[in-house]
C-alpha cells in the first residue's frame, strides 16, 4: 500500500466510525416509564384541556421526578394554535414532554400526534404525552420513534364540539412514516 492512500483510508475509517456512532446513539430515559407516570401525565393533560380548548391554543411542558421521588411538571406554557415550545426549569431533568392540541377543528387531523410532535420529542431526546380535542392521550416513544394510543376518545376532558366524523379514526400506533402517510392523504 502506498503512503498516498493512507490518508484516504484513514478518512474512510473515520467516516465509517462516525456513521456507526450516529446509528447507535439513542436517547435513554433515566427512569423507566411506569403506570404512575402515565396516570400523572393524563392528570396534567386533563387539567389543561378546558383552558386549551377554550383558548384554542396548545399548552406544553415537561414531566419529571422531584427530589422526593414524586412526579412533577414544569409550569405549562401557552403556545399557539399549532405549536408550543416548553421551557425547562433550571436543574429539571425531564422524563417526557406533554402538550395539548387545542380545540377541535375540521381543518386539522388533531386526534393523533403530528410528525412535528414526534420529531420534536426525538430531537430533544425525551418521550412525550399528547392530549387531543377528542380526549385521547398518546405516548411518543422517542427512542423507538413511534406513537402509541394510551386511551381513546373522552378518556380526558374533551371539546364538546369534537366531531369524530371530521377525520378517519386513528390507528392505535404510528411510526414516523405512517404519520407522514396520514398527513399527506386527503381527509
For position 165, which CATH number holds? 3.40.140
What CA–CA distance (Å, rounded) separates 142 from 152?
21
Q: Region 52-76: what's the mean pLDDT?
A: 95
Residue 166 lies in a domain: yes
Q: Evaluate whether residue 54 is within a structural domain.
A: yes
Determine the pLDDT at residue 31: 83
Query: DSSP label at 132?
Result: -
Tell me the CB-side half-sphere exposure of residue 75, using CA atoms within 13 A.
Answer: 2
Average pLDDT, the chain: 86
* Percent of residues in the chain assigned helix, strand, coil, to nearest 5: 35, 20, 45
Q: In the prediction, which pLDDT does 24 show? A: 32
Which residue range is the domain that position 150 belongs to? 33-183
Residue 168 domain-assigned (yes or no): yes
Q: Is residue 165 part of a domain?
A: yes
Share of the chain above pLDDT 70, in %: 84
Position 172 pLDDT exceeds 80: yes
Instruction: Tell me whether residue 174 is in a domain.
Output: yes
C-alpha cell at 125: 431526546
Q: Is residue 113 part of a domain?
A: yes
The pLDDT-based confidence of 28 (bands split at 50, 70, 90) is: low
Instruction: Give domain status of residue 22, yes or no.
Output: no
Domains held by the chain: number: 1
Amino acid at each position: 500500500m502506498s503512503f498516498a492512500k493512507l490518508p484516504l483510508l484513514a478518512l474512510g475509517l473515520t467516516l465509517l466510525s462516525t456513521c456507526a456512532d450516529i446509528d447507535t446513539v439513542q436517547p435513554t430515559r433515566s427512569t423507566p416509564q411506569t403506570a404512575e407516570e402515565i396516570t400523572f401525565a393524563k392528570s396534567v393533560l386533563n387539567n389543561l384541556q378546558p383552558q386549551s380548548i377554550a383558548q384554542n391554543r396548545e399548552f406544553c411542558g415537561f414531566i419529571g421526578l422531584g427530589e422526593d421521588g414524586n412526579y412533577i411538571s414544569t409550569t405549562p406554557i401557552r403556545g399557539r394554535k399549532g405549536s408550543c415550545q416548553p421551557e425547562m426549569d433550571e436543574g429539571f431533568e425531564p422524563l417526557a414532554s406533554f402538550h395539548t392540541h387545542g380545540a377541535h377543528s375540521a381543518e386539522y387531523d388533531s386526534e393523533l400526534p403530528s410528525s412535528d410532535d414526534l420529531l420534536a420529542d426525538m430531537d430533544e431526546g425525551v418521550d412525550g404525552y399528547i392530549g387531543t380535542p377528542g380526549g385521547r392521550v398518546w405516548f411518543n416513544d422517542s427512542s423507538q420513534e413511534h406513537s402509541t394510543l394510551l386511551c381513546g376518545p373522552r378518556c380526558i376532558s374533551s371539546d364538546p364540539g369534537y366531531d369524530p366524523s371530521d377525520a378517519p379514526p386513528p390507528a392505535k400506533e404510528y411510526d414516523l412514516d405512517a404519520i407522514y402517510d396520514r398527513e399527506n392523504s386527503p381527509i
